[in-house]
């Protein structure tokens, strides 16, 4: 518009002041010149901005190809320096965010060690580079007694302990670094109190030496906030290619070996072998069969009478689980309960036991049986929020009063039970159920807490009864335990009593009730009902 106005103005002016002659051409040229100048003046800034924005568009499109490093383009920096600076700042922040996200995704935030994802990726890469004649080693490290630290000192102190453990493991790993980057050991924290170390090149003797050193390093006390903390480490070792050629296979083998080291007392290492492999395979098969056993109706209940040492009468019985395996035949609880506990199938089995026991007691009570039956409760069942409501509902629907039921909890489960669980147990006791503490003397007991747990009976572990006929020390310990139980106002029950001599000693020490082969074995329902009827009619007396 400016150029056009200039042209018209110049043309009109020249025509007004001159004749219409050869100067007309000069007027046209002058107006065209003004038009050109105005066009250039107005169009040049627009063209500069357009080129700058086009360069910015091309830079942004380069992000799709992964370019987050290149600076803002030169045309943008010349035409729009403020926008160019903003673009550079934006890409710098994006790069920093990506690096932080990568660190969070690949490293443990507590110890700063590689996490499970990072470890698997790097170990898989190192394994793929392994030469055919080269041996590698996977170490699985699990801390002993770490839960006690968390419970007593809190999770913040627990995290501090994990950092210190990670630092000690770094010392061991760095000491084994021979200077060749590709052979550097890989240390990681998998989860909780589990660490793992992969050695790309290591012979068996060297691996055992490293495992022993780790056990000794972790066994040294840790100083945390003026507290001296003693823990240990159970270490499982797997070697490639003997125990696996993939990261998953080696970690599985090392994990199995670690559990064996822990079951042997902890604070030591164990190398995976054929025996452990066979045992692990059997556990897997047992776990698979257990998952189908309830639906197939393969479980049965056996009942072992409990005899009163005061009256000689049948004081009740304990319901014991049996598995009628389709191939192995009748299996005792010790052969499958640990597997069921670890896999979680015990919760389903526990539900079946409650339902079966409710139906059995309902039928027995109609026939005049009023004895109390003890049922074992798994710690896994206590973890379920609906356990107590389901237990009450099961017996209520069968019209069985809780006064016919005795619930047995293991010593460790009772010691670790939350206040909510203890309140629920106390409510069951108020409603008539009797509460028993099983296997007393084998686990960790807080004697002060023992006074606050709602209890009626305490069952002495069979290991405390073993050898009391011949060992004075065994009798002294047993007598002390019985007096302790009596002191908190509970009845004393001894199980696995095998001889009359043991029964006589227990009676003299003040034991109230016994069960074991010396009086009667565990029997299935029909045999138990007949045995109980005969015992009542003949007034069997322990004396």
Beta-carbon contacts of residue 505 (< 8 Å; ≥ 6 apart): 468, 469, 475, 478
Copy the structure tokens of residue 293: 């056993």
Distances (CA, A) of 77 to 54, 81, 94: 12, 4, 20
Global model pTM greater than 0.85: no
Q: What pLDDT was estimated at residue 353?
A: 96
pLDDT of residue 509: 96
The CA–CA distances, whole Å, from 315 to 61, 458, 543 equal 84, 15, 15
- If you compute the radius of gyration of the chain from its CA atoms, what whole number of angstroms results? 40
Report the C-alpha gap between 113 and 196 in whole angstroms: 10
- pLDDT for position 336: 93
Per-residue pLDDT, 46: 58
> Is-contact 440 458, C-beta < 8 A?
yes
Residue 534 confidence (pLDDT):
78
Report the DSSP beta bridge partners of residue 305.
317
pLDDT of residue 233: 94
**pLDDT tens over the chain, length 543 residues:** 666 766 676 666 666 655 555 566 666 766 666 666 666 555 555 577 777 778 777 777 777 777 777 888 888 788 888 888 887 788 777 777 666 665 556 788 899 899 988 899 889 988 888 888 888 999 999 999 898 888 788 888 999 999 999 999 999 888 876 555 556 789 999 988 999 999 998 888 989 999 999 999 999 999 988 888 999 999 999 999 999 989 999 999 999 999 999 988 899 999 999 999 998 888 889 999 998 998 899 999 999 999 999 888 888 999 999 999 999 999 999 999 999 998 889 999 999 999 999 999 999 988 877 789 999 999 999 989 899 999 999 999 999 999 999 999 988 888 888 889 999 999 999 999 999 999 898 766 667 778 888 999 999 999 999 999 999 999 999 999 999 999 999 999 999 999 999 999 999 999 999 999 999 999 999 999 989 887 765 544 443
Cβ 152 vs Cβ 224: under 8 Å:
no
| 287 CB-near residues (< 8 Å, 6+ apart) | 339, 340, 343, 345
pLDDT at 451: 81
The DSSP H or E segment spanning 256 is helix 247-263
Please tell me the distance from the alpha carbon of residue 475 to that of residue 459, in angstroms, as a whole number: 16
């Amino acid at each position: 518009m400016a150029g056009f106005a200039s042209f018209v103005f110049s043309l009109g002016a020249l025509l007004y002041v001159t004749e219409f002659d050869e100067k007309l051409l000069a007027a046209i040229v002058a107006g065209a010149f003004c038009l050109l100048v105005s066009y250039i003046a107005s169009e040049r800034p627009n063209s500069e901005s357009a080129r700058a924005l086009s360069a910015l568009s091309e830079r942004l499109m380069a992000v799709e190809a992964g370019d987050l490093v290149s600076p803002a383009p030169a045309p943008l920096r010349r035409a729009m320096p403020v926008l160019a600076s903003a673009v550079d700042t934006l890409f710098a922040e994006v790069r920093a965010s990506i690096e932080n996200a990568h660190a969070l995704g690949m490293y443990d935030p507590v110890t700063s060690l590689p996490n499970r994802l990072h470890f698997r990726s790097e170990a898989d890469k190192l394994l793929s580079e392994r030469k055919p004649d080269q041996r590698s080693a996977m170490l699985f490290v699990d801390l002993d007694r770490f839960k006690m630290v968390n419970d007593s000192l809190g999770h913040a102190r627990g995290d501090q302990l994990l950092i210190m453990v990670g630092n000690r493991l770094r010392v061991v790993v760095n000491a084994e670094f021979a200077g060749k980057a590709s052979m550097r050991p890989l240390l990681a924290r998998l989860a909780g109190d589990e660490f793992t170390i992969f050695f790309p090149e290591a012979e068996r003797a060297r691996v055992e030496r490293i495992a022993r050193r780790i056990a000794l390093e972790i066994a040294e006390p840790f100083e945390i906030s003026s507290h001296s903390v003693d823990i240990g480490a159970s270490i499982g070792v797997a070697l490639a290619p003997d125990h696996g050629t993939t990261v998953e296979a080696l970690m599985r083998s090392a994990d199995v070996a670690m559990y064996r080291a822990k079951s042997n007392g902890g604070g030591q290492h164990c190398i995976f072998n054929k025996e452990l492999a066979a045992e692990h395979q059997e556990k897997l098969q047992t776990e698979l069969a257990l998952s189908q056993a309830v639906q197939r109706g393969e479980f049965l209940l056996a009942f072992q009478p409990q005899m009163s040492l005061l009256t000689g009468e049948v004081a009740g019985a304990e319901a014991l689980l049996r598995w009628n395996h389709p191939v192995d035949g009748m299996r005792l609880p010790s052969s499958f309960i640990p597997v069921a506990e670890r896999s979680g199938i015990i919760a389903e089995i526990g539900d079946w036991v409650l339902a079966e026991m409710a139906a059995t007691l309902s039928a027995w009570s109609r026939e005049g049986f009023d004895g109390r039956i003890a049922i074992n409760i798994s710690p896994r069942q206590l973890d379920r929020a609906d356990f107590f409501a389901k237990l009450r509902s099961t017996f209520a629907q069968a019209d069985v009063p809780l006064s016919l039921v005795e619930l047995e909890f293991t010593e460790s489960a009772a010691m670790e039970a939350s206040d909510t669980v203890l309140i629920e147990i106390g409510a069951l006791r108020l409603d008539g159920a009797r509460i028993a503490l099983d296997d007393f003397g084998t686990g960790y007991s807080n004697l002060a807490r023992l006074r606050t747990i709602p209890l009626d009976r305490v069952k002495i572990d069979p290991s405390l009864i073993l050898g009391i006929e011949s060992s004075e020390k065994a009798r002294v310990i047993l007598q002390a335990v019985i007096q302790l139980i009596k002191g908190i106002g509970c009845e004393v029950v001894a199980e696995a009593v095998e001889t009359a001599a043991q029964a006589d000693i227990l009676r003299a020490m003040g034991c109230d009730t016994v069960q074991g082969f010396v009086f009667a074995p565990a029997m299935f329902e029909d045999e138990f009902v007949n045995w109980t009827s005969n015992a009542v009619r003949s007034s069997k007396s322990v004396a």
